Amino acid sequence: MTALETAARIAVDLLVREDFDTLIRMDQGGRVSAAALERTIADYGRTLVSPPHEWWSTVTITPVHRDGTPTLHAAVPLWTTEEGRSDLTLELEMTEIAPETYETALLDLHVL
């Protein structure tokens, strides 16, 4: 597992465990509130679960050009008990702050 995958997996695992406060503390961007995350999941009406081991191949990574700092946008599909891969997507901005170390900012949680 790469450092990038690990950083995204941590964010997903916190979301699945509904540990919104820790997820928000981890977030360096401050764009999404714990209440907004909770509301989106409640409105979706299904139970989030950890994605399967091979989930990383479903994540879309796009480079973002930002002042020479290596930054990536990750569109991370989520899984639910009821449907497997769901229509919910977690969007992250991941900035490499040291070799193989990523700062993660939450951009959005939405239904595609």
- For the chain, the domain total comes to 1
Q: Which CATH number do you get for residue 86?
A: 3.10.450
Task: Give the angle subtended at the CA of 108 by the CAs of 19 and 76, to the nearest 5°.
Answer: 80
- Residues of the domain holding 94: 3-111
Could you read off the pLDDT of 19-66 as tens digits, one per residue? 998 998 887 667 888 899 999 999 999 999 999 989 999 999 999 987
What pTM was estimated for this model as a whole? Answer: 0.91
Please tell me the distance from the alpha carbon of residue 109 to that of residue 14, in angstroms, as a whole number.
Answer: 13
Angstrom distance (rounded) from CA 33 to CA 21? 9
| Predicted confidence (pLDDT) per residue in 62-109, tens digit | 999 877 788 999 999 999 999 999 999 999 999 998 998 999 999 999
79 in Cβ contact with 86 (< 8 Å): yes
